[in-house]
A = this chain, B = another copy of it.
Amino acid sequence: MRRHSHWIMALALVYIDYKRYYFTTYLFCPMHRTHTCWELRTNHVWSSVTLAWRADDIRELWWMAFVTLRDRYGVTQIQVEPDVARTIKPEYCLKIVWDVGARPAGQENKEMDTGEIELKATSVEILNTCKELPFPIRDNVDSSEEYRFKHRFLDIRRKPVLENIKFRAKMNHFTRNWFTENEFLEVQTPILANSSPEWARDFLVPSRIHPGTFFALPQAPQQFKQLLMMGWVDKYFQIAPCFRDEDPRADRHTGAFYQVDLEMTFVEQQDVLNVLQAYGLAAVKALVPHKTLKFGDEVPMISFQDSMDRFGIDRPDLRIPGMEIVDLSEEVGDSKFGVFANTVKDGWLVRAINLKGKSMTRKELDATTAIAKQAGAGWLAYMIIEDSSTSEWTDIWWGIAVRSPIAKFFSPEELTIITKKLDAAAGDILFFGAGDWHLVCKVLNKVRMYFRDIYEMVDDNELAFCFIIDFPFYEYDDSRERRDFWHNPFSHVVWWLKGLEVESLHDVKTNQYDFCLNWYELGSWSIRNHDPEVMVAAFKKVWLSEEDIKKKFGAMYEAFQFGCPPHGGFAFWFDRFMMIMCDEPNIREVYAFPKSNKAEDLLMRSPSVVDDEQLEELFVKSVFEGGE
């Protein structure tokens, strides 16, 4: 009867909403196997089934032998004849036919999904054998990344790699469906595009049909998506492959990376922000429901200036409790401590943070100083705050005492103001940075991040989004007369032409923003400029003439003349978002086939030397003399 009902079920192609397995799995169940290694349960008892996949483990026990078969979905244990078992090694591909039985009461394996059934093989076929493995296939291997990537076809048999592949597929699926459901049109923009060396370095592709010319792989579909807005596409999105020929780094995949690219017409700042926020939160809830959102459904908004002043960086980790940077320039400017007083006299700054409730040894203080020095500081001043009743140091205020090599340079009144402003209590340590704004920000940020890590101040399962707003339009280095756009040169200038009539480029404001998560920049967004006159004026500020613009961005320049609607959008670093959601410290691991930290595909051995004839056809010549 049981067998009967099983077959009726299979034949009827019933929708089996059990975990996440639908009948479609059965519809396309390959002929080499009738079930996956996760599927068999007691309701399959008396069925004859065929499983096929890779041998995971082979064991002999008394007069019996067992093989566990593993696939993408799970594991099943099969009893085979001992002499058959001896012909099988781990990683062999097997096809096994058998009858399902129930395990005797008490012998179930509760830890295995398929642990309630027992199988006795009626036929075992070895579909493929396996050479000795160069490294063991375990969740955690100690092989070097280089060695693993070279054998990626084995490395992807490790569970963490499969989990990342599955997560990425899920994230792609979720993202595209989310935007599609919200009426965004997916448009695939060209991958053979034009060179824009004014941003990052381009990957170039010589053209055979047009000798002497080159395509470039797009650094971003920026111009294409803006041109789409000239048509009827009022909401565009794409998970776009982007390419930058940069040196490898930890949070960006060398060569190619993916961004969730978006553009909308007739939008203002709040519209773009709404979409970004809604997508970010929805993705977290759908993909990593075990994570907590520090601010719930809110996303705090912090100005660039404020973020730099309070956290020393424009992508602050808001999970860190307190420890914000406090300005003391006014308070210490007249002190007898020459280093601080002179710094302030030079027009620079003195700022400090308060490491609450931690004590540090001499060695630990030295290590902290080393961090500050790495960031460019000459030295790191500190003050240890003690309880005045037990301290041998001067009593200052409300019963606390300050222990520090520099304490003697300050009057009790000055120390009182400093400790009060930093909300210092006994058991705290204050750290000081002095110098120009950039240096102080950089040093105190590094020290904060160092404390975050050594004192484990943040919860890895917590996510803290924030918006950084009010970015400057230009990056401007007075000393070197270097001028460049801070982020996106196509952004809208606040007040249009009038907004450019300012004394210092620092004062040009733009509707341009960053979206951050923990301490990563997740993407940036802006309202675009849609007026060719403003475009010309904005580029002139970085020494680009109207002729240059026509040459470099001719299509945009021309398109703007024909009724371009107001528009805006964002670019969202897909890979980095995944990296954070998956707690994956190495961005290379979010790809199925990553490039190494030397920008090579060690598995496929690319890049590689090509035939001279291939180059001849493309009208280029390799001029590297070194050889490989």
* Residues in chain A within 8 A of chain B (CB atoms): 22, 24-25, 27-28, 30-33, 52-54, 70-72, 91-93, 95, 127-131, 133, 152-154, 156-157, 161-162, 165-166, 168-169, 172-173, 176-177, 180-183, 185-195, 197, 201-217, 223-224, 227-228, 230-235, 241, 243, 245, 247, 255-256, 258, 264-268, 270-271, 274-275, 278, 530-531, 554-555, 558-559, 561-566, 591-593, 595, 598-601, 603-611, 614-615, 617-624, 626-628
Output the residue of A54, A214, A217, A554 with the most chain B CB within 10 A.
A214
- Nearest CB of B to A395, in Å: 59
Task: Please indicate the chain B residues that have their CB under 8 angstroms from the CB of A623 in the complex.
Answer: 619-621
Contacts A24-B182, A555-B603; A154 near B562 (Cβ below 8 A): yes
The reply to whether B165 and A169 form a contact with Cβ atoms under 8 Å apart is no
- Nearest CB of B to A161, in Å: 7
> Of the candidates B72, B211, B564, B614, which one forms a contact with A232 in the assembled complex, judged by CB atoms under 8 Å apart?
B72
Task: Please indicate the chain B residues that have their CB under 8 angstroms from the CB of A243 in the complex.
Answer: 191-192
> Of the candidates B71, B180, B217, which one forms a contact with A205 in the assembled complex, judged by CB atoms under 8 Å apart?
B217
Closest 8 CB pairs of A and B: A156-B231, A130-B563, A212-B624, A32-B266, A194-B606, A213-B607, A211-B624, A207-B607
The reply to whether A605 and B194 form a contact with Cβ atoms under 8 Å apart is yes
| Closest B residue by C-beta to A620 | B620
The reply to whether B208 and A245 form a contact with Cβ atoms under 8 Å apart is yes
CA distance in complex: A92, B561 (Å): 11
12 contacts between A and B (CB under 8 A): A31-B267, A53-B265, A71-B234, A153-B231, A165-B233, A189-B593, A192-B255, A203-B215, A204-B615, A210-B600, A224-B593, A619-B623
Task: Please indicate the chain B residues that have their CB under 8 angstroms from the CB of A156 in the complex.
Answer: 227-228, 230-233
Task: Please indicate the chain B residues that have their CB under 8 angstroms from the CB of A185 in the complex.
Answer: 165-166, 169
Task: Please indicate the chain B residues that have their CB under 8 angstroms from the CB of A31 in the complex.
Answer: 267-268, 270-271
Task: Please indicate the chain B residues that have their CB under 8 angstroms from the CB of A624 in the complex.
Answer: 211-212, 619
Task: Please indicate the chain B residues that have their CB under 8 angstroms from the CB of A620 in the complex.
Answer: 206, 615, 620-623
The reply to whether B234 and A190 form a contact with Cβ atoms under 8 Å apart is no
Contacts A205-B205, A271-B30, A607-B215; A592 near B189 (Cβ below 8 A): yes
> Of the candidates B191, B207, B599, B604, which one forms a contact with A207 in the assembled complex, judged by CB atoms under 8 Å apart?
B599
The reply to whether A183 and B266 form a contact with Cβ atoms under 8 Å apart is no
Contacts A192-B255, A227-B153, A232-B156; A607 near B214 (Cβ below 8 A): yes
Task: Please indicate the chain B residues that have their CB under 8 angstroms from the CB of A188 in the complex.
Answer: 168, 172, 241, 258, 591-592
CA distance in complex: A593, B187 (Å): 9
> Of the candidates B30, B127, B130, B627, which one forms a contact with A212 in the assembled complex, judged by CB atoms under 8 Å apart?
B627
The reply to whether A162 and B233 form a contact with Cβ atoms under 8 Å apart is yes
CA distance in complex: A577, B377 (Å): 62
Output the residue of A192, A228, A563 with the most chain B CB within 10 A.
A563
The reply to whether B210 and A203 form a contact with Cβ atoms under 8 Å apart is no
| Closest B residue by C-beta to A209 | B599
CA distance in complex: A129, B562 (Å): 7
> Of the candidates B52, B267, B563, B618, which one forms a contact with A91 in the assembled complex, judged by CB atoms under 8 Å apart?
B563
Given pairs A53-B234, A203-B205, A214-B610, 16 additional interface contacts (CB within 8 A): A28-B235, A30-B266, A72-B232, A93-B566, A95-B266, A127-B566, A130-B561, A156-B231, A168-B186, A202-B614, A203-B215, A212-B627, A228-B592, A555-B603, A619-B622, A619-B623
The reply to whether B562 and A91 form a contact with Cβ atoms under 8 Å apart is yes
The reply to whether A561 and B131 form a contact with Cβ atoms under 8 Å apart is yes
Task: Please indicate the chain B residues that have their CB under 8 angstroms from the CB of A201 in the complex.
Answer: 208, 614, 617
> Of the candidates B91, B233, B608, which one forms a contact with A194 in the assembled complex, judged by CB atoms under 8 Å apart?
B608
The reply to whether B555 and A605 form a contact with Cβ atoms under 8 Å apart is yes
Task: Please indicate the chain B residues that have their CB under 8 angstroms from the CB of A207 in the complex.
Answer: 599, 607
CA distance in complex: A233, B610 (Å): 31
> Of the candidates B24, B195, B559, B593, which one forms a contact with A181 in the assembled complex, judged by CB atoms under 8 Å apart?
B24
The reply to whether A604 and B209 form a contact with Cβ atoms under 8 Å apart is no
CA distance in complex: A626, B224 (Å): 31
CA distance in complex: A18, B25 (Å): 34
Task: Please indicate the chain B residues that have their CB under 8 angstroms from the CB of A566 in the complex.
Answer: 32, 93, 127-128
- Nearest CB of B to A116, in Å: 23
CA distance in complex: A591, B231 (Å): 14
> Of the candidates B70, B177, B275, B601, which one forms a contact with A28 in the assembled complex, judged by CB atoms under 8 Å apart?
B275
- Nearest CB of B to A162, in Å: 5
Output the residue of A206, A241, A258 with the most chain B CB within 10 A.
A206
CA distance in complex: A564, B177 (Å): 34
CA distance in complex: A166, B31 (Å): 38
The reply to whether A234 and B606 form a contact with Cβ atoms under 8 Å apart is no
| Closest B residue by C-beta to A190 | B593
> Of the candidates B92, B190, B627, which one forms a contact with A595 in the assembled complex, judged by CB atoms under 8 Å apart?
B190
Task: Please indicate the chain B residues that have their CB under 8 angstroms from the CB of A599 in the complex.
Answer: 207, 209-210
Task: Please indicate the chain B residues that have their CB under 8 angstroms from the CB of A153 in the complex.
Answer: 227, 230-231, 555, 558-559, 562
The reply to whether A230 and B53 form a contact with Cβ atoms under 8 Å apart is no
CA distance in complex: A593, B227 (Å): 10
Task: Please indicate the chain B residues that have their CB under 8 angstroms from the CB of A154 in the complex.
Answer: 230, 559, 562
> Of the candidates B93, B152, B190, B247, which one forms a contact with A601 in the assembled complex, judged by CB atoms under 8 Å apart?
B190
CA distance in complex: A267, B204 (Å): 40
| Closest B residue by C-beta to A229 | B153
The reply to whether B192 and A267 form a contact with Cβ atoms under 8 Å apart is no
CA distance in complex: A266, B72 (Å): 13
Task: Please indicate the chain B residues that have their CB under 8 angstroms from the CB of A133 in the complex.
Answer: 562
